[in-house]
Amino acid sequence: MKPALLVGLGGVAGALARHLLGERVETGTRDTLAVNVLGSFLLGALVAVPVGDDLLLLVGTGFCGAFTTFSTFAYETVRLAESGRARRAVLNATVNLLGALVAVWMGALAAGAL
């Protein structure tokens, strides 16, 4: 299968999953944090095991790329700062970044333990 098609199919699934999770969690910035941490965990697990190029394109690049949302995270952080909630903006940025980094690490550890 062509790489662009794999990424596209994974992207559609990731975008739909992101939307559905957002509808369930939708509380300020928590839905963005949830998808960023979950997607990072999945990507960490995926790259820790030999899965092959096609699955990496489909799930890693396509699904995780569409499921996680850096642009929304950045927008929400700026919006918090502009509304006079600088502390909350810094907290949001810190928790998203550290949460995603720890999740990648934990996903890789979990997959490596299998």
Mark the binding-site residues for Na(+), compressed into ranges: 65, 68
Binding residues: 65, 68
Six token digits for residue 67 = 């499921």
Give the phi and the psi of residue 50 in degrees, each rounded to 5. Answer: -75, 105
- From its phi and psi, is residue 12 left (phi > 0), alpha (psi between -120 and 50) or beta? alpha
| CA quadruple 52, 53, 54, 56: dihedral sign | positive
